[in-house]
Structure 1
């Protein structure tokens, strides 16, 4: 990969910069014949185009003269950087070597919802999301006590057989929804029934 794209808390030294990507070097290598340094990946990509010369001074290049620059590597990775999410509010500052460990626990790092609801959000918001927003969070029906996901609950509400409801005919009766159908057809005083004489439909409580 090319140079380090971190936000450095310390001043970036010019000698750290790769002449090819212009970023602090990642895995720096040095051409010992001329002393120029580059990111290992940047130099390999340059040479892969068939140009076997130093990108800086154009001198002929021998692969055997390219070595990892351990001293430069140590100097760069022990420099302090800010968290990748510092613009979001994270104030962490430490060495480059500790950044990845920090990001694994940083509360501003985006994470996938563990319920697989497709939401991508920061760890800071995860608890609130799981409790109040996630469409797959578990909840309990207040009427029948069944536990289900919130997206199922949206369909369950308004159809739970254990919910207490009023008769749709506005007779004033109240009952569990599971008894509503029988009440409407056979018991409700406001149900419509045919007149035994003319066959027309009338409210049950208006017939003699």
Structure 2
């Protein structure tokens, strides 16, 4: 699953947005060379041994990425407004 869409996506800090799909991160993977993040599914779709970050063009070997549980926990507190209805809550 790619990232989450939300009505308030433009109000969120860019660190919560995928470097590939530009949506709110879903199961984020961090590139260790630059620190930017991809959705797990966006990362898998790239299917490359070296990942070029779309934000800064720095390359990271695909085996030098990490899952950051603390960042994922931080994201769980993000206020989100659904793009398709009036639902508002946290992730």
**TM-score, scaled to structure 1:** 0.37
Q: How does 1:21-36 map to 2 (within 5 A)?
A: 21-36=21-36
Task: Look up the match of 2:18.
Answer: 18
Preserved CA contact (<8 Å) 1:10 1:80: no
The answer on 1:71 being equivalent to 2:70 is yes
Per the alignment, do residues 85 and 44 of structure 1 end up closer, same or farther by CA in structure 2, a change over 3 Å counting? same
Q: How does 1:55-204 map to 2 (within 5 A)?
A: 55-56=52-53, 57-63=57-63, 65-83=64-82, 84-86=84-86, 92-96=87-91
Preserved CA contact (<8 Å) 2:31 2:60: no
More helix by proportion, 1 or 2? 1
Where in structure 2 are there 5+ consecutive unaligned residues? none
Give, in whole Å, the separation in 2 of the partners of 1:4 and 1:30: 17
Where in structure 1 are there 5+ consecutive unaligned residues? 87-91, 97-208
Count residues in correspondence: 87
**TM-score, scaled to structure 2:** 0.75
- Given candidates 44, 51, 56, the residue that maps to 1:54 is 51
What is the CA RMSD across the aligned residues, in angstroms? 2.3
Preserved CA contact (<8 Å) 2:28 2:39: yes
3-state secondary structure, aligned to 1:43: helix
Give the structure, 1 or 2, with the largest relative contact order (CA under 8 Å, sep 6 or more).
Answer: 2
Deviation at 1:24, TM superposition (A): 1.2
Quick check: which has more Rg, 1 or 2? Answer: 1
